Amino acid sequence: MVEHQLRRRGIADTRVLTAMGEVPRETFVPDAQKRDAYVDGALPLSHGQTISQPLMVAMSVEALQLQGDETVLEIGAGSGYQAAVLATIVARVYSIELIGDLGRQAAAALSAAGYGNVEVRIGDGYAGWPDKAPFDGIVVTAAAPRVPEALVTQLAPGGRMVIPVGERDGAQELLLVRKREDGSIERRSVLPVRFVPLVPGGR
């Protein structure tokens, strides 16, 4: 996976490549999907959710330009796989999952696999995790119609956020949002994508 799906397609960050090589992806996919754990594509989870294609996970994590001592917020724990990749690189990961069953399963899988620097909470990703902010990096695993202002607020000066933006049935793009040291924001489109929608809490 690392050589054929990632390195040959432009992933160059050695921290990301090492983490993707170390994390056992099969631990974080449903039993029925384990034989396909390393295929070059997304895999289905319960509740209409997915575990993202390995390349998309690697691209999102690489875009954060992590150095190893950061605190990162993940919106959409899903299976826990991307949180495990992040936890292999950074000091602390906080992950929010709206769907209770998925969040509890992700937390159990991460704990069983030894990722003690990850905390999973059931909650509304649009609201972020204010009492753990600010975050050096934020990675969002579902598409929002626009960038949630609460997440921008919780980004530390110099921090980066990767988020897919767009409507469920329309065009979506992966955005890189960077908060400058003076608090101003710059946004850059990375590439067109297709993600499941980021659902607000209470819906």
Place of tokens 């956020």: 161
Strands (E), 1-85: 43-44, 50-51, 71-75
Per DSSP, helices labelled H in 96-145 are 100-112
Among 19, 20, 59, 25, which residue's Cα sits nearest to residue 43?
Answer: 25
Active site residue 52: yes
For residues 45 and 102, the answer to whether their CB atoms sit within 8 Å is yes
Which residue among 52, 60, 79, 95 is the active-site one?
Answer: 52
* Burial of 140 from C-beta contacts in 10 A (0-12 / 13-18 / 19+): buried
Q: Could you tell me the CA-to-CA distances from 98 to 13, 87, 125, 128 in Å, in that order?
A: 30, 20, 7, 11
For residues 157 and 132, the answer to whether their CB atoms sit within 8 Å is no
Among 162, 170, 194, 159, which residue's Cα sits nearest to residue 63?
Answer: 162
Tokens standing for residue 169: 């049935």
Measured at the alpha carbon of residue 93, what is the angle toward residues 88 and 95, in degrees to the nearest 5?
125
Task: Provide the annotated active-site residues.
Answer: 52
